[in-house]
Chains A and B, each alone.
Chain A
Amino acid sequence: MRSTTTLNTLSGCFLIFWAVAAKVVGAFSPSSNIISTRRQRHLQTSIAAKKSNAIGSAQEVDGWTSLNDDGGVKLKVISSSSPDVGSAEKIDLRGKDVTVEYIGSISARNWNVQDVIDCWLPDQGLPSLAPELFEAFEIDGKRLTNPKKFSVKFIKE
């Protein structure tokens, strides 16, 4: 009975020692932290870059300005104010009614891989692994709708 208790105490002490030692060594060995931080930064950067490249980024391209982080809405000024319709200043719209005239038309879908993953894939009820596969096979809008490339055979394989 006594030897069992002693054994338990010893193994408990050993475990505590091991845990403390691991912490101390970890504290004086920053390389693992640096590597993981670098890796994290690399991952974050590549994800951000991928997302920004994928959707056109927030920069102005050919006069188109992205209005959100991922380029889902883009705006291009066609003509500035005409003198007979009020001020040319951007105004505070809070609590105000805005009157607009518009023409709505169908535009080219031009989905890249990230657009397919964000817009279409979540509605297909696929396993959580699917986005990685779509990314790995670079399935953008063109490939997705091409029956020769995104065929049943391709999906099966």
Chain B
Amino acid sequence: MGILKDAKQTTLFEAAQDLKRSEQSHMEGTVFDKNQFSFRPGKGQVIQAFDLAIAEMKVGQTVSIVARSDFAYGSKGLRVGGKVLVPPYATVQYDVTCIEVK
């Protein structure tokens, strides 16, 4: 990897360590959201993983969805009121029940 300048090498190392720190601060299994809501699929109202999954679901069915960060909250993560709920690049899991379609 010797093609990188010194400053960039340190930045890259730090960015990788940020990932590690986020893993430690937001342990696997930490619940960050629990809710019931309505949305219209395919309109960008929800994360991409939700749109993909709901198209495969049936009413009354409960599924687990595991979404890599690029299908969920990406490089920014999810913050609400300054609090980090989902760290950057996090893989998230949703347990979803389809209640109603109308």
A residues contacting B by CB (< 8 A) are: 64-65, 67-68, 71-83, 85-91, 93-110, 115, 118-120, 123-127, 129, 133, 137, 141, 144-145, 147, 150-152, 154-157
Contact = CB atoms under 8 A, between A and B. Distances in A.
A98 B41 contact: yes
Q: Is the interface of B mostly helix, strand, loop or mixed?
A: mixed
A93 B57 CA distance: 10
6 contacts: A72-B49, A101-B97, A103-B95, A104-B31, A119-B70, A127-B4
A103 B6 CA distance: 43
A104 B94 contact: yes
A94 B64 CA distance: 22
Interface residues of B, number: 73
Given A75-B53, A75-B56, A156-B2, 16 more contacts: A67-B52, A81-B58, A81-B61, A87-B58, A90-B56, A93-B42, A93-B54, A99-B100, A100-B97, A105-B92, A106-B29, A109-B89, A124-B12, A150-B13, A154-B1, A155-B1
